[in-house]
Amino acid sequence: MKDVVMDSVDLGEIMFSLCYLPTAGRMTLTVIKCRNLKAMDITGSSDPYVKVSLICDGRRLKKRKTTTKRSTLNPVYNEAIIFDIPPENVEQVSLSITVMDYDRVGHNEVIGVCYTGPDAQGLGRDHWTEMLAYPRKPITHWHSLGEWPGRAASFESQGSCPSPKPPSTP
Ligand SMILES: [Ca+2]
C-alpha cells in the first residue's frame, strides 16, 4: 500500500458515520454533511452528491449515491447507505467515498475523495477500527477530502482479496 498523498489543496471535508451490525452482517454509512467544498462551477458553487463504493480486490462490488444538492458548498444529506457485509468479509473490504459535482451538461466531476477500511491511511483506518470495536453504535467523524488519484490505481491495489493480516509492526 502506497501512501496517499494529502497535499495542501483544500477540497473540503465530509462528515459521515459508520455502524456495523455483526449479527445481521449489515454496515450502514450515513452521509451527514460536507463543508467548505471546492467550487467547481463558474457560478462559484457546486452541485454535490456523494458516491460510495464497496471495494474488494480492487473491484467495485457495489455503488450507491446520495441525492444531489444544488448550488451549495455546504450540503446536508443525512442519508443512510446500507451494505450487506458478512462478519467473515469485513476485514477484506473498503469503502471509497467520493464527493462529485453534478453538471447538467458534460461529465460530472470529482471534487474529492476519502477512504475507510483496514487498508486506509490515518483516520480512514481508525474510523473503521472504531466501528468494529463498537458494534451497533454509529461512529461519526469529519474526513478531509483528498485529490482523486486519477485511475484510482494507488488505493485499489492488485492481487487477491487480502486474507486476515498480521498486525502491522511498529
Ligand atoms: Ca455543477
Ordered by start, the domain boundaries in the chain are 13-144
**Verdict on whether the full-model pTM lies above 0.85:** no
- The whole-number pLDDT of residue 162 equals 47
Q: Which residues surround ligand 1, an ion (CB under 5 A)?
A: 41, 47, 101, 103
DSSP code for 146 = B
Ligand 1 centroid–CA 29 distance in Å is 25
Task: Compute the distance between CA of residue 161 and CA of residue 130 in angstroms, rounded to an integer.
Answer: 22
Q: Looking at the domain that runs over 13-144, which CATH code has it been given?
A: 2.60.40.150
The pLDDT tens digits of the residues spanning 17-27 come to: 999 999 999 99
Q: Which cell numbers in the block locate residue 166?
A: 498480521
